[in-house]
Structure 1
């Protein structure tokens, strides 16, 4: 089973769908790699006008699969070294999918239903637009594991909200409804049928001049000063300093044992 489905790849409106419905589309390393490959394929697709990003089975994504985090045990030094030395000098493999989505030359619209947590919301934030169900649940959730968001959030969040509100969401890992996320500026609009609304919007955009739409995206991205290399490097450096440190380990153990953490 493909972890990323590409639907209507040769049409004007293509779909990218996270495809682990039995796990609420929780993100694995393989899924991240497949998403980058899918974006690379679509980036060179003639006639492409827009892309809709969604999750299979009623959820966008529950975030990083906990098996991935558990798999880091015993090899944290290697993981940190990899994070700090990305192969292209810019984005490591955790950040590359968000960068690949953001760099698609056409508008990307994320349709958000169910849960959209952690890594999932960072992928959604990499899209140009987000349409969420009113009852969807969204959270920048890494603080619950004693970590920070480091999968490309520096590409997106500074464009969407003031620093104080961003800090509050990152530090508290607050779970928001679609309506609350709209009020915070994280989503573009809400709809009872986000996928249908995203497809309709994509069709509307595809009817416009493709040159003007692509140029509009490039113009706004440039005006908002997307400093990707600097932000992505800072994400990796800060996360590497936290991972495996006593307080982060205590956070994980306390959550797994159902108790309050005791920090040093």
Structure 2
């Protein structure tokens, strides 16, 4: 697989696991314009590679990410000098494009593990809430910082965070913009584990990703799709959806292979998914 060139990200492979690293450590991995275009391109490219079964999202340097590069806002100054209706239309289009960069994480057929160390601020919260799993190092700190620059978070935090933690807690964090620690993030359910340092964090992320990669990719894709569906629909609708999914996707051969491997105390092996099929 050839991943798109990126001035912001470094992409590495460890067998079926892809490591996607924000690589702007001198600027705390703050999100430049290249970030927003490169992230969905990379995720889409990984999704077209049948051998990718899980991804880890991490940051190089002292911090996971400081959020949006505020210099990027300067480029919008001219937009607000335009005719108001057209400026508003263009601004909405831009926001939708930024939202889609993070939705690419949610849209991926495989789970994405966010491995968070140091600061995870502003857009970093939008990003990790679009990931499937979140773990942190003990030095991690978090904040929904947009309120401090006079705006409501608009690329995912206000929509996804209340589905991950108690809505009242999400509201308090968004209204106050206060920093909170890795331990608090674990206590409210934003992250599932806290590790001693970045080295231990990355080791745990790799272990988690490889454990997922050993499972049936068809079952993993089904779990991811159905968790997202259940989040946005009623229990009754979710039950109907999983019944239809398994009626079509449950494969007797994979079930038998998994059961036999379990009885033999061995690791079952599963074929990659077929992806990226084209006509002609």
SS in 1 for 2:96: coil
Contact 1:105 1:217 in 2 (8 A): yes
Structure 1: runs of 5+ lacking an equivalent: 228-264
- Cα deviation for residue 81 of structure 1 reads 2.1
Say whether 1:55 aligns with 2:78.
Answer: no
2:89 maps to which of 81, 102, 117: 81
Contact 1:112 1:195 in 2 (8 A): no
In structure 2, how many angstroms separate the alpha carbons of the residues matched to 1:209 and 1:148? 40
In structure 1, how many angstroms separate the alpha carbons of the residues matched to 2:21 and 2:72? 20
Aligned position for 1:213: 220
Q: Deviations over 1:102-136 (max 9, x none)?
A: 11011100000011000112111111011111221
Q: Deviations over 1:141-163 (max 9, x none)?
A: 10010111111225521321222
In structure 1, how many angstroms separate the alpha carbons of the residues matched to 2:233 and 2:92? 20
Q: TM-score, normalising length from structure 2?
A: 0.74
SS in 1 for 2:227: helix
Backbone CA RMSD of aligned residues: 2.0
Aligned position for 2:71: 67
2:13 maps to which of 8, 18, 23: 8
Q: Please, which moves more after superposition, 193-202 or 76-85?
A: 76-85
In structure 1, how many angstroms separate the alpha carbons of the residues matched to 2:181 and 2:87? 33
Work out the number of aligned pairs and report it: 222
In structure 2, how many angstroms separate the alpha carbons of the residues matched to 1:120 and 1:4? 15
- Cα deviation for residue 61 of structure 1 reads 0.3
Change in Cα spacing, 1:210 to 1:155, as seen in structure 2 (3 Å) is farther
Q: TM-score, normalising length from structure 1?
A: 0.79
Q: Which runs of 4+ in 1 moved over 4 A?
A: none
Say whether 1:119 aligns with 2:131.
Answer: no
2:100 maps to which of 90, 96, 101: 96
- Cα deviation for residue 181 of structure 1 reads 1.0
Contact 1:115 1:137 in 2 (8 A): yes
Question: RCO (CA 8 Å, sep 6+): is it higher in 1 or 2?
Answer: 1
Contact 1:110 1:130 in 2 (8 A): yes
Q: Please, which moves more after superposition, 148-157 or 185-194?
A: 148-157
Contact 2:54 2:212 in 1 (8 A): yes
Structure 2: runs of 5+ lacking an equivalent: 1-5, 235-280
SS in 1 for 2:108: coil
